[in-house]
Amino acid sequence: MILLKKTVLTSTLMASLLSLPLHAATYTSSGYLAPADTRLDVGLIDGGSTVLVEGQFPFSSMGYVSMSAGSQLEGDWVISSGVGFISPFTQFINLEGDAQIISIKKQHEQEKEFGDVAIGLSIGATSYISSMFDATVTLGNVSYGGDESEAILEFGTRIHLSEHFSVGLTYMANGIYADSFKLSIRNK
């Protein structure tokens, strides 16, 4: 029954993502600065056991507000919001970074009504290999306060099927979704 709920939710999110009229200008692979994208990603992690929705909403040509929500739909969640930047570094590379406040509630921690609060910082780079392919790497840290923290290491690739639609595969080596693959679709 839970798998059916996850499948219906994921299908609905992907269908609504594909129908959104998001037509913002983009950063070009030739390094010309254009307004930041509105980006929405819907992803599946751990072979579909976790649904993740991520969004970036620009407030300037280089800055954006980021929001994400993920869950296994079993009383758990990871919800975050923050601010970030994106900027051309070279003709074919963009740098991106963000700072987020994160709320994490794990399945086995049901006694905590609102879960744990953490601070996340990350920086990454996207290299445009061709007009259809890019590669990304992200490094960062999630701090739960005190000495408790997790390093973030992610790398992946994205295939651009059109100007506004792409499919990506990311390996999350550690962090909140440790040792997992994320398959995502993006509309911008």
Per-residue model confidence (pLDDT) at position 36 = 61
Per the CB < 8 A criterion, the answer to whether 17 and 29 are in contact is no
Give residue 24's pLDDT band: very low, low, confident or very high (50, 70, 90). Answer: very low
Stretch 65-76: mean pLDDT: 90
Instruction: Using the structure block, give the residue that is written with the tokens 């992907």.
Output: 14
pLDDT (tens digit per residue) in 87-104: 999 989 999 999 999 999
pLDDT higher than 70, residue 86: yes
Percent of the chain whose pLDDT exceeds 90: 53
| Total count of domains within the chain | 1
pLDDT higher than 90, residue 61: no
pLDDT higher than 90, residue 28: no
3-state secondary structure of 49: coil
Strand partners, 168: 158, 184
**Predicted TM-score (pTM) of this structure:** 0.76
| Average pLDDT score over the chain | 81
> Domain limits at 74?
2-187
pLDDT (tens digit per residue) in 112-161: 777 889 999 999 999 999 989 999 999 999 998 888 899 999 999 999 99
pLDDT higher than 70, residue 25: no
pLDDT (tens digit per residue) in 123-135: 999 999 998 999 9
pLDDT higher than 90, residue 10: no
Render 167-183 in DSSP notation, one character per residue: EEEEEEEESTTTTEEEE
Least confident of 44-48, 54-58, 115-119: 44-48
Whichever domain contains 19, its CATH number is 2.40.160
Question: Residues 6 or more apart from 84 whose CB is under 8 A from it?
Answer: 56, 63, 64, 65, 66, 96, 97, 98, 99
